[in-house]
Amino acid sequence: MRQIVTRGGKRWRCIKSIEATKRGSASREAFGQRMTATNKAEAQAILRFRSNPERSVTGK
């Protein structure tokens, strides 16, 4: 993570996302889509675990 200054003030940004902006809009969009999919999958996994924690321990 790196702190950068934007029009709205200082913001923390992932170094990979900063590098993706330097490669062009198509690369930045692809990176954003991958990160969105990854974050969504992680959030769904956490919700499944919280909804039925016994099931994840027994593996059934």
pTM > 0.85: no
Tokens (6 digits) for 55: 């099931």
59, part of any domain: no
Per-residue pLDDT at 6: 86
How many structural domains does the chain have?
Answer: 1
Residue 13 sits at the vertex; the CA angle it makes with 6 and 10, to the nearest 5 degrees, is: 35
What range does the domain containing 17 cover?
2-52
60, part of any domain: no
First to last CA, the chain: 38
pLDDT, one tens digit for every residue, the chain (60 residues): 889 898 999 989 888 878 877 888 888 888 889 999 999 999 999 998 888 767 656 555
